[in-house]
Amino acid sequence: QAQIAESGGGSVQSGESVRLSCDASGRIKRIYSMAWYRRVPGKERELVALITDAGRTNYTETVKGRFIISRDNTGKTVYLQMNDLNVDDTAMYYCVLDTAPDNGPGHIVVWGRGTQVTVSS
């Protein structure tokens, strides 16, 4: 099964930028998509950005034009460049992989442990 290592979180001021990284390792047959979710205590978990194995991307409305999701040539590292951050972006950010099982069809979703991003005004 895949393992995930996230990095890049921290504390910044409004208007600054942060880049998150997510490295996938272990037994990986295929990665269908890689995504970043975020969660604020007391609120629903939110899909922030997603990139498919074909390179298609999708963003939640509140981050369009500010965040960019990308991946490296191996397809096992995904980045989230977050620009012009504001206090509403404060959250725990999780990397999520949608992968293929070793045998047969289907999907296995793997979550990282999360990395905290805190934005102060």
* Secondary structure (3-state) at 63: helix
Contact assessment for residue 43 and residue 88, using Cβ atoms and an 8 Å cutoff: no
The reported pLDDT for the residue numbered 2 is 86
| pLDDT values of the chain reduced to their tens digit, one per residue, 121 residues | 789 999 999 999 999 999 999 999 998 889 999 999 999 989 999 999 999 999 999 999 999 999 999 999 888 999 999 999 999 999 999 999 999 988 888 999 999 999 999 999 9
